[in-house]
Structure 1
Amino acid sequence: MNIKKPVYVGIDFGNEYSQVSYYSDKEKEPVSLGLSGPENGYYIPTVISKAVGKSQWFAGDEAKNSTMLMDTVIVDNLVMKAMDRNPVMVDNESYMPAELISIFLNEIVQAVKIAAGVQDIAKICITLDNFKISLLNVLSEALSRLNIPKDDIIFSSHTESFVYYAMNQKQELWTNDVALFDYGDNGLVYKLMSIIPFRGQNLIMTKDEDFSSEVPYSLSENKTACEYLDGKLSEIASGLFFKKTISSVYLTGKGFGDSFNAPDFFKVICDRKRAFSGQNLYVKGACYQAMGTTEGSMLKNYVLCCNERITTGIELKIIERGKEKILRLVKPGVNWYGADCSFNLIVDEAKELEMFLSPVDTVEKQLVKIPLTDFPERPRKTTLINFKISFTSDRRCYVMVIDKGFGEFFPGSGRIINEEIML
C-alpha cells in the first residue's frame, strides 16, 4: 500500500466560522477544504452539538443540522468560551472549553486526513484574529487531547498569516509593499507589509490600521449605502496609497463577498497594482507557515517584525570551559507564544546575570543586570540555578531565576528572583 507522507494543515479558528486548508503536493499550494454546505463555501460553523442522553457529538454544519434529526444540545461561541475558561454545562454534564474545542478540531483533522489520503499530520498552524494567551492555552490543551505533539503545533496571528501568504506568491507581487483590506464582522481593517533592508538583514515590517468606526460591517449589508460605501473606501484607499509604491492589494472578509461592487474603489486599488479578492487568504497563509517550518520557508532569509513577533534578540553572558561566551536565548522574529526557554546554570563567582537586548532596528545592545544577592552565599560552583524566560506578549518578557542548591551538600533555598523586562 502506498502511504502518503504526513500533510501540513492550516486552520483559521474563529468564533462564528472557521476554515481549514492542507498543502497539496499535486497542486503545489494549499487547498481549502469545504466541510460546510454550499451556502457557506469554505466556511465551517464553529459549532458542536451533543445528542441528548448519548455520547454522540457533531461538529460544523452537521451540528447545526442535527437539531432537525434528533434531540441535541448546541454549543457555539467556542472562542468566547475558551477565553472565559469557565466550565460549560452540556446535557447536564460539565465540560471545560478545551474538551469542547477538541471535539470540533478533531472533526476538522479527520476530514483533512480523509481528503488528503494520509494517516498523519506533519505540522498544524492555527491562525487567530484574537491572539490572546487565554485562548492560546486552551487551544494548546485541546490539541494535546488529540495527541498532536507540541512541537508540531504553531499558533499565528492573522497578520502573520497574511505575510506568509503574500511571500509565497510570485515575487513580482511583493517586490514593493503589499496591502490588505479585511472587511469582516468587526468592520474594516487595513494591513500593510513592507520589506526593509537593514544592517544586512531583510526586515518584514507590518502596519495595522483600524477603520471599523468609519466603515462598520453594517454598511455592507445596507443596500441603500452602496454609493456612500464606495466613496468612503475610495477615500480611505487613496489616502493610504498616497506616495506609496504598492505591488499588490488583497481583499478579504465577508464584506467583500460576491455581491460587493464598488467601481471607484476598484479603480483606486487596481491603478498600477495587482488586486485579488478571496475569503481563504489567512487559512492558506497558515498552511504555508506550517509547511515552512520543516520544508524550508520563503521567510528563512527575512526577520518578520509584526505584532506577536519578538523584534528584540535576547542573549545571556556565560562562561563555558573557561571562556566567555554569549548564549542566544531568543532570536528576533519568533512568535512570543512558544518562545519560552529554560536553562540550568552553575554559578561560579558571579553576583549577577548579564543579559543583552538587541532590537533589530538599532545597532547598540542594551545591558540588563539581574542581581543574585538574594541567594545564599556558597563556595564556588556549588550553586545550581534554573534560569527561565517567558512571555505574555511580544513586548513583555519575564525572567525567573530559582536557587536549586547543589544536591545533598547544599540544599536549595527555594528562593526565586523575578524580573519583568519590557522589550
Structure 2
Amino acid sequence: MSEAYYIGMDLCSDSTQISFYNDISREPETVNQLNNKETYMMPNILFFGLETGEWYVGSEASEARFKEQGIVLDELFQNARSEETVEVHNTRYSYRKLFLMMLKMHVDSFLYRYEGATVKKLVITIPEYNKDLFRVLSTFYKELGVEKEQVEITSHLDSGLYYIFNQDESLRTNSVGLFDYNTDGLHYYRIDISHGHELNTISVTHEDYSENFNLAAFGGDNILMDITFAKIVANETKKTYISAIYLTGLGFSEKWLNKSRELLTQGRRVFAGQNIYTKGACYKAVGGEYGEFYKKYFVETKENVIFDVGISSEDEEDRFIPIALGGRQWYNIHGKISIILDDTESLTLVYRNRKTGEEEREVVKLHGIPKRPNKTSKFSVEVEFENPHHGAFIIKDVGFGKLFPTTNKIYRKEFDV
C-alpha cells in the first residue's frame, strides 16, 4: 500500500536537506544520504553519465563524476532564475529547467526508498525571500505532478519558529536564541515570548553579524573565531534571560567552540544541529497541532503582516469582510472575493490591526461604471502584498452575465499601513 508523506525541504545554495514526518514517532526524521550516513546534506549538483545515459543527483552525482565520463552541472541554485541554456548530450536545457529537475530528483531519491510513496504536502524553506527564486519555486508543483496547494514556500525564520515551538515547552520559559552561521556569515535571532491578559506575543529580534563574522573572516584561526564569538554571546545573553540556544549552519560543523561554549551553557540548554530548518518545514507541512502556536500567539517578525485587510459590508451591521488575513509572511498572503454592489459606486476599504484591533478606513470611488439596476454590478476584489506594510487592492468589473456585460475596467488602489 502506497503512503503519502509530509516533507520539509531545506534548500540552500550548495546543498539540500529533506525531512519527512514519521507517523510512529510523531516527529520529523531527516533523510541521510544513501552512500554517506554521516550527513544529511545532499549536494546541489547534477551529473549526466555519457556511458550510462543516466542522470545522477546529490551525493550519487558526486561519486559518478569520478567513475565515468560525463557532464557536471553545478551552481544550479545560483542560476535558477536564468533562462540561459546549456547543452547536455545534444539536448539544450535552461538552468531553470535543470534546477527544477534537480529538486525533483532530490525528492524522488527519498520517495524511491518506499514503494509507491507520494507527496502529501511539501514545504520548501529557503534562507530568505527572493522574488525571482520564489517565482521559479512556485511552479515546482507541476514537476511533482501534485496540486498547487501541496507545495508551499517559506523562510528559514518561519521554519525555525516551527521547530522551536514544537520542542519541549520548558525550553522556552524565557527568551530563546538562535545562532545561524552559514556561508553568508553569522546571524542571531532572539525570540521573545510575552504573555498578556488578552494576547500572547512572539516577537523576533534579528542581529546581523555577517560583515565581520563570516567563514572567510578569520583565515582559519579558530581561536580568534572562538574568542570573537564568545564576545557576541556575552553581549547578546546579557540583554535578557535566555532559556535555550540553538546553533545551526555549516560554520558550527567544525569543533572550534571552547571559550564560547562555556558562555553558551551558563544557565541554559544548548542544541546544535544542521537540520533545524528542514524539520521545522516538516512540522509546517503537517500543520494541525504543530501550527497551534500561530493560533495562540500574535507573531511579529520582519516578514509577517500584522493586519487583516478587507472591506466594510456597508449595511447597518457594518461588518468587516476579510479578504486577506495577516499573521503570516507577506509573500504567502493573497486573497480574492466577489461582491455585488447595491446602489453605490464606492467601497470602504478596512485595515484591522491584529494586535490592537484598531481599524483604518478609506473610501475608493469606482468611476466610469455604467448605471445598472441594484444588485447587478458584480466585482472581484483582490489583495496582494509587496512587503509586510505595502500592498494593493485590485478591483475588477466582471459584469452580471449576458444582461450586463463587463466593462473590463480595473481599479488598483495601493495602501501603506
TM-score, with structure 2 as normaliser: 0.91
1:134-172 CA-to-partner distances (Å, cap 9, x unmatched) read 111211212222112111222111011111111111001
Could you tell me which residue of structure 2 aligns to residue 240 of structure 1? 236
Q: Distance in 2 between matches of 1:10 and 1:118?
A: 19
Task: State the 1:106 CA deviation.
Answer: 2.2
CA distance in 2, matches of 1:36, 1:206: 37
Indicate the residue corresponding to 1:30 in structure 2: 28
CA distance in 2, matches of 1:294, 1:95: 42
Report the CA distance shift for 1:175/1:60 in structure 2 as closer, same or farther (over 3 A): same
> Is 1:318 the equivalent of 2:313?
yes
Deviations 1:339-392 (A, max 9, x none): 212222111122321122123343421113222124333332222111111223
Deviations for 1:320-350, whole angstroms, at most 9, x for unmatched residues?
8x86432122223123233212222111122
Task: In structure 1, give the amino acid aligned to 2:18.
Answer: V
Superposition deviation, residue 52 in structure 1 = 4.8
For residues 160-203 of structure 1, what are the alpha-carbon distances to aligned partners after superposition, in whole Å with 9 as ceiling and x for unaligned? 11111111110010121110111111111111111233562322
State the partner residue of 1:329: 323
How many correspondences in the alignment? 416
Aligned residue identity for 2:87: V
- Does the residue aligned with 1:386 lie in a helix, a strand or coil? strand
Give the 5 Å matches for 1:385-404. 385-404=379-398
Structure-2 residue corresponding to 1:105: 103
1:7 has 2:5 as partner: yes
User: How far is 1:97 from its partner?
Assistant: 4.4
Residue aligning to 1:383:
377
Give the aligned partner of residue 222 of structure 2: 226
Please give the alpha-carbon distance, in whole angstroms, between the structure 2 residues aligned to 1:10 and 1:402: 37
Which residue of structure 2 lines up, in the alignment, with residue 289 of structure 1?
A: 284
Inter-CA distance 66–390: structure 2 relative to 1 (3 Å threshold): same
Query: Could you tell me which of 70, 83, 88 is aligned with 2:85?
Result: 88
Q: Which AA in structure 1 matches 2:225?
A: L
The answer as to 2:407 corresponding to 1:413 is yes
5+ residue gaps, structure 2, are: none
Task: Decide whether aligned partners of structure 1 residues 347 and 361 sit closer, same or farther in structure 2, where only a CA change above 3 A counts.
Answer: same
Q: For 1:274, which of 258, 269, 274 is the aligned residue?
A: 269
Following the alignment from structure 1 to structure 2, what is the Cα–Cα distance between the partners of residues 324 and 363?
A: 15
In 2, Cα distance between the equivalents of 1:369 and 1:53? Answer: 68
Equivalent pair of 2:162/2:290 in contact (CA under 8 Å): no
Over the aligned positions, Cα root-mean-square deviation in angstroms equals 2.5
- Are 2:141 and 2:150, in contact at CA under 8 Å, matched by a contact in 1? no
CA contact (8 A) 1:347 1:383 kept: yes
Tell me how far 1:297 sits from its aligned partner.
3.8
How far apart, CA to CA, are the structure 2 residues paired with 1:176 and 1:416?
Answer: 50
Could you say which residue in structure 2 is the equivalent of 1:264?
259
Aligned mate of 1:349, from 335, 343, 351 = 343
1:230-270 C-alpha deviation (Å, 9 max, x unpaired): 2211111111122301110011111111x322322112211
Change (3 A) 1:231 1:184: same
**Please, which moves more after superposition, 412-421 or 332-341?**
332-341
**TM-score scaled by length of structure 1:** 0.90
Residue in structure 2 matching 1:149, options 147, 150, 153: 147
Rate the CA distance shift 1:350–1:71 in 2: closer, same or farther, 3 A. farther
- The answer (yes or no) to whether the contact 1:180–1:192 under 8 Å persists in 2 is yes
Give secondary structure in 2 for the equivalent of 1:304. strand
Structure 1 residues 399 and 53: alpha-carbon distance in aligned structure 2, compared to 1, 3 A threshold: farther
Of 174, 181, 184, which aligns to 2:182?
184
SS at match of 1:136: helix
Distance 1:407 1:18, change over 3 A: same
Look up the SS of the partner of 1:343 in the other structure: strand
Per-residue deviation, 1:90: 3.1
Partner of 1:171: 169
Aligned to 2:16: 18
Task: Give the letter for the 2:57 counterpart.
Answer: A
State whether residues 382 and 410 of structure 1, in contact with CA within 8 Å, keep that contact through their aligned partners in structure 2.
yes
Aligned to 1:208: 206
* 1:128 and 2:126 correspond: yes
Corresponding residue SS for 1:406: coil
**1:64 deviation in Å?**
2.8
Contact map agreement 1:36 1:43 (CA 8 A) in 2: no
Separation of aligned partners in 2, 1:68 and 1:49: 10
User: For the Cα contact (< 8 Å) 1:101–1:139, is it kept in 2?
Assistant: no
